[in-house]
Amino acid sequence: MATDDRLERYEPLIRASLSFGARDAVIIPSSAVVVEKRISLKCRNGCPSHGTSLSCPPYAPGIGVFRGILAEYAYVLVIRFVSQVRADETILHALMKNRYDPAVTPEIRDRTMECMDALNQESRRIHDLMLGLERIAFQAGMPFALAFTPDSCDLCKKCNVKNGICLHPEKFRYPLEAVGINVIKTAANAGLTIKFPCPNPPDRIALLLIE
């Protein structure tokens, strides 16, 4: 945990996080953020955003690059939101399977897509809240504060991957897993338990790198 003087400096960020609807907001040293190579491999083998969004591998900063960036920060604010999305566990625990498996019934697929749409809308809301938190940190004298979100960027209907240039750089942010952050271990280092399969409703984790 941060020292008392650091906590006092960051208290406005914690209060703002809670006012934004977060259940928990915890300051940890940047060294407590766990970065692993296998996380980006999991992105490659299971996430439909891989290679289709500039926010995700192989376009996101590599593990080595991000570790170097992380070392330039002193502390991190770990934020847990509890999702407002509820669904039958047979849907919530098998989103990718239900989306792509041809053996899944149309009824299950439709319910799965409804759940995914609701989660995506919630991710956009959390994304906007994190940008707001970033601005609060900036105004408090932390110009390099940087948010990481719980899902891939979807600011555009189709990402401008072909040209390699983001059309909304002021809003573009990376999801935690894209840079190799092990969300489960990092949350544990903040005293937050993340369970798998995910609870119903699921936890949504975001980070703010701060000085």
Kindly report, residue by residue over 94-126, the tens digit of the pLDDT: 888 888 889 989 999 999 899 889 898 999 999
pLDDT for position 6 = 58
pLDDT beyond 80 at 5 = no
β-bridge mates for residue 155, sequence order: none
For residue 133, the enclosing domain spans 4-81+120-210
Residue whose structure tokens are 């697929």 = 109
* 44 domain residue, yes or no: yes
Q: Is the pLDDT of residue 1 over 50?
A: no
Q: Give the separation between CA 176 and CA 116, rounded to whole angstroms.
A: 19
CA 6/CA 19 separation, integer angstroms: 20
Whether residue 88 is contained in a domain is answered as: no
- The residue among 95, 75, 79 whose CA lies nearest residue 87 is 95
Each residue's pLDDT tens digit, 35-92:
999 998 888 887 888 889 999 999 999 999 999 999 999 999 999 999 888 888 888 8
Assigned domain for 145 exists? yes
Which residues in 161-189 are b (16+ Cβ under 10 Å) and which e? Answer: eeeeebeeeeebbbbbbbbbbbbeebbeb
Residue 100 lies in a domain: no
Answer whether residue 115 is part of any domain.
no
Q: State the DSSP string of the chain.
A: ---HHHHHHHHHHHHHHHHTT-SEEEEEEGGGS-B-HHHHHHHHTT-TTTTT-TTSTTTSPPHHHHHHHHTT-SEEEEEEEEPS----HHHHTTHHHHHH-TTS-HHHHHHHHHHHHHHHHHHHHHHHHHHHHHHHHHHTT-TT-EEEBSS---SSSS--TTTT--S-TTT---BGGGGTB-HHHHHHHTT----SSPPSSPEEEEEEEE-
Would you say residue 176 lies in a domain? yes
Q: What's the pLDDT score for residue 4?
A: 54
What was the pLDDT predicted at 46?
73
Is the pLDDT score of 20 beyond 70? yes
**124 lies in a domain?**
yes
Question: Which positions ≥6 away from 67 have C-beta within 8 Å?
Answer: 35, 180
Q: Which of 116, 117, 83, 120 is nearest to 199 (CA)?
A: 83
Q: What total of structural domains would you count in the chain? A: 1
Q: Does a structural domain hold residue 162?
A: yes
Per-residue pLDDT reduced to its tens digit, 156-197: 989 999 999 999 999 999 999 999 999 999 999 999 998 877
